[in-house]
Amino acid sequence: MIRIGKIVATHGLQGALIMTHIVGNSKWLKPEDVLFLELHKESYIPFFISQLKASGDDEYIINLEDTTTSEAAKKLIGKNVYVQEDILAKHATDSPLLWIGFNVVDKEKGSLGPIEDVMQAGPQWLARINYNDKEVLLPLVDEMILDVNIKNKFVRMDLPEGILDI
């Protein structure tokens, strides 16, 4: 599962929801796709889309099959939204969202561990790893990335000295 966004508001009286996403375009989601909402920590409940409409490059207005009232929709505000990796892979082949679970390999230190999550801070992507029992955020910038191997699931990087100590 890949976290792609969040339910941020309701829309209208028929249970429609506004979902923001970090994919970068609004052509990737289809009505037949399934969204998974994290109703409780690490519980990914499937929701089926009955209607959707792009509202810019980072937002959709969606209707879910079992959410037909504004009261039901309000309960979903603030919930993280996930999709299966294959849905996103068709549309965002170079997206750092696909790198979750990939091993980070530094040019000097070798294997650092898997990417646990990626997030976007402005135009910048960050990878979260756990290194020596400490959470570390690594900037995913072209200057540091040497290679992304999709087949073998690793990101080879040339990290500046001291970045793992921050």
Note down pLDDT in tens along the chain; length 166 residues.
Answer: 778 889 999 998 889 999 988 776 677 788 888 999 999 888 899 999 999 998 887 899 999 998 989 999 999 999 999 888 777 665 555 678 778 889 999 999 999 999 998 888 878 889 999 998 999 999 999 899 998 887 788 999 999 988 888 6
What residue segments make up the domains of the chain, in order of their start?
2-89, 96-165
CA distances, 47 to each of 31, 85, 102, 155 (Å): 11, 16, 27, 32
The CATH number of the structural domain formed by 96-165 is 2.30.30.240
- Give the separation between CA 20 and CA 156, rounded to whole angstroms: 30
Q: What is the pTM of this model?
A: 0.65
Evaluate whether 2-89 and 96-165 have a shared fold: no
Residues 78, 28, 82: CA angle, nearest 5 degrees: 35
The CATH code that applies to domain 2-89 is: 2.40.30.60
